[in-house]
Amino acid sequence: MTKKTNIEIPLLGDGRTEGAVIRLDQIKRDFQVGEETVHALRNVSFAINEGEFVTIMGTSGSGKSTLLNTLGCLDTPTAGEYYLDGVSVRKMGKNDRATLRNRKIGFVFQSYNLLPKTTAIENVELPLMYNPSYSASARKQKAIESLIAVGLGDRLQHKSNQMSGGQMQRVAIARALVNDPAVILADEATGNLDTRTSYEILVLFQRLHAEGRTIIFVTHNPEIAQYSSRNILLKDGRVVSDTVNNAIQSAAEELARLPREND
């Protein structure tokens, strides 16, 4: 992985977005519901550089999940251009887009989305199944390394139903990392977790950020923005603010300050 780059604030439409991992240009997404058209995204443009940890916030219905689904190539915009690692996603066929998604994006969801009754290793191996260049033993080795990296070296053979919420989310993060993706996309990744466990997961995301990972983290929780390097606020499908955080807080320090349950 390349070193963390200095963050250049991409001014919308000024062209200073060369080399961005993600570039959205006037993205629109309309949903037709009966007679009504819902404008879920209205001319959203921004660029995200390698090594940024971006939180995306906004009230319910502001378009956060629609935006994340677009970024993750799970949904196709009605209009506009999306470049992922310099590649125009719009021009791609369905199969190429699926391959791009598999190689470039790691997803982390609120509800973990692990396979039930399946071990941690098997869950993490999954994204590598679509890549014929990995042998079964190489897959297993990569999965183990990824699980160790998220602190689950002692839970390799545990099944999803034998783990806590925080542990399941770590498995999901290990799965997101195993392909060494260009971007990690998280939708309310701490939404189902208690305060302490949420901070433990945030500590992990901050470590990945420090290691140079690019992270996009959708959340309802305004506190989480303090731990990221940039915050984009959506309202009614539009970007209403886009700010760099020059005073990033340490989730590890906050975790240390939290009272323990048995105190």
Ligand X SMILES: Nc1ncnc2c1ncn2[C@@H]1O[C@H](COP(=O)(O)OP(=O)(O)OP(=O)(O)O)[C@@H](O)[C@H]1O
Residue type, 14: D
Contacts with 252 (C-beta within 8 Å, 6 or more apart), sequence order: 203, 206
Cα Rg, the chain, nearest whole Å: 18
Work out whether 72 is an interface residue with ligand X (CB under 6 A). Answer: no
Overall residue count recorded for the chain in this entry:
263
Q: Which is nearer to ligand X, 63 or 77 (CB)?
A: 63
Work out whether 69 is an interface residue with Mg ion (CB under 5 A). Answer: no
Work out whether 190 is an interface residue with ligand X (CB under 6 A). Answer: no
Best CA proximity match to 44, nearest among 192, 235, 249? 235
Q: Which is nearer to ligand X, 36 or 154 (CB)?
A: 36
Which of 17, 49, 55, 65 lies at the binding interface for ligand X (CB under 6 A)? 65
Which of 17, 49, 55, 66 lies at the binding interface for ligand X (CB under 6 A)? 66
The minimum distance between CB 210 and ligand X, in angstroms, equals 28
Work out whether 64 is an interface residue with ligand X (CB under 6 A). Answer: yes
Rounded CA gap, 101 and 110, in Å? 19
The minimum distance between CB 58 and ligand X, in angstroms, equals 5
38 binds, among Mg ion, ligand X, none (CB under 5 to 8 A by kind): ligand X
Work out whether 38 is an interface residue with ligand X (CB under 6 A). Answer: yes
Positive or negative, the Cα torsion across 70, 75, 78, 82? positive
Work out whether 55 is an interface residue with ligand X (CB under 6 A). Answer: no
Rounded CA gap, 213 and 198, in Å? 19
Q: Retrieve residue 114's tokens.
A: 């692990």
User: CA angle, corner 138, sides to 136 and 144, nearest 5?
Assistant: 105
Work out whether 70 is an interface residue with Mg ion (CB under 5 A). Answer: no
137 binds, among ligand X, Mg ion, none (CB under 5 to 8 A by kind): none
Task: Classify 192 as helix, strand or coil.
Answer: coil
Dihedral through CA 100, CA 187, CA 49, CA 172, nearest 10? -60
Which of 2, 15, 33, 247 lies at the binding interface for ligand X (CB under 6 A)? 33
Dihedral through CA 165, CA 52, CA 9, CA 29, nearest 10? -50
Which of 17, 55, 62, 65 lies at the binding interface for Mg ion (CB under 5 A)? 65
Best CA proximity match to 125, nearest among 205, 208, 115? 115
Which of 1, 31, 162, 222 lies at the binding interface for ligand X (CB under 6 A)? 31
Work out whether 61 is an interface residue with ligand X (CB under 6 A). Answer: yes
The minimum distance between CB 109 and ligand X, in angstroms, equals 12
Residue type, 219: T
The minimum distance between CB 225 and ligand X, in angstroms, equals 15
Tell me the window of 63-71, 122-130, 162-170, 223-231 that interacts with Mg ion (CB under 5 A).
63-71
Work out whether 58 is an interface residue with ligand X (CB under 6 A). Answer: yes
Which residues contribute to the site for ligand X (CB under 6 A)? 31, 33, 38, 40, 58, 60-66, 220
